[in-house]
């Protein structure tokens, strides 16, 4: 059974199921301020022979459901939207890790140097009426051939820490990108066009924060 329909007088809340400052900043960029952040701790290990695009979609859905369960366990009531996303970087069918060590990051940079790769970002939205909406966005990115100086300098920056594929496109690694086809914001972590379309299609007031504040 789905969740009960919200009363007309109740404004729905938006819960972002993420601790990522990048995803929060992207939402804020388009005037959307989540009412709460509720990161979900889920196992992100790929299943055997799992395709990168399937992993991104599965983890986004899993994070959304986990955040909903946490919200229920806290006894939170009222209409809510729960938004979750996950980003996966791949070369062919090979899924690159979210790098935690310099060795992992160096291996990723060597693999990405001078070649194209794909970035998949899955988005899941749970609505107050119990609907589950999903989007999967694919972006193709090509890196220049990285010199030893490029790699050593980037590794020293530690910008790669915790990043899928060992790089952050919104940072120093932007200088490595020769070509990008798809969603830039999707590579950062949240495809804005698709996310805003999902929210607007389900009745969330995505443009409510756009009005210029009245001056006294």
Sketch out the chain's domains with CATH numbers: 13-201 (3.90.950.10)
CA max distance for the chain: 61
Tokens of 47: 């299943």
Q: Tell me the pLDDT band of 22, cut-offs 50, 70 and 90.
A: very high
- Residues labelled catalytic: 86
| Residue 202 contacts residue 81 (beta carbons within 8 Å) | yes
88 has which bridge partners? 120
pTM value? 0.90
User: 106: helix, coil or strand?
Assistant: helix
- Banded pLDDT at 212 (limits 50, 70, 90): low
Query: CA 148 to CA 157: how far, in whole Å?
Result: 14
Section 139-168 average pLDDT: 97
9 — pLDDT class (breaks 50, 70, 90)? very low
Closest CA to 186 of 198, 194, 175: 194
Q: What angle do CA 99, 56, 163 make, to 5 degrees?
A: 20
CA-wise closest residue to 199 among 55, 63, 38, 34: 34
């Amino acid at each position: 059974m789905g969740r009960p329909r919200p009363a007309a007088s109740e404004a729905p809340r938006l819960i972002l199921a993420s601790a990522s400052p990048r995803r929060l900043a992207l939402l804020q960029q388009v005037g959307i301020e989540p009412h709460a952040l509720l990161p979900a701790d889920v196992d992100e290990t790929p299943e055997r022979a799992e395709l990168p695009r399937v992993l991104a979609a599965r983890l986004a859905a899993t994070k959304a459901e986990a955040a909903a369960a946490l919200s229920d366990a806290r006894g939170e009531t009222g209409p809510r939207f729960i938004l979750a996303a996950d980003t996966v970087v791949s070369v062919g069918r090979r899924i690159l890790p979210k790098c935690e060590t310099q060795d992992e990051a160096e291996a990723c940079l060597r693999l990405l140097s001078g070649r194209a790769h794909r970035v998949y970002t899955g988005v899941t939205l749970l609505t107050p009426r119990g609907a589950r909406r999903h989007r999967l966005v694919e972006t193709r990115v090509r890196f220049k051939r990285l010199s030893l100086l490029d790699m050593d300098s980037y590794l020293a920056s530690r910008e790669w820490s915790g990043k899928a594929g060992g790089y952050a496109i919104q940072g120093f690694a932007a200088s490595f990108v020769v070509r990008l086809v798809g969603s830039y914001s999707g590579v950062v972590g949240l495809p804005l066009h698709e996310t805003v379309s999902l929210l607007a299609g389900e009745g969330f007031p995505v443009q409510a924060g756009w009005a210029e504040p009245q001056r006294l």
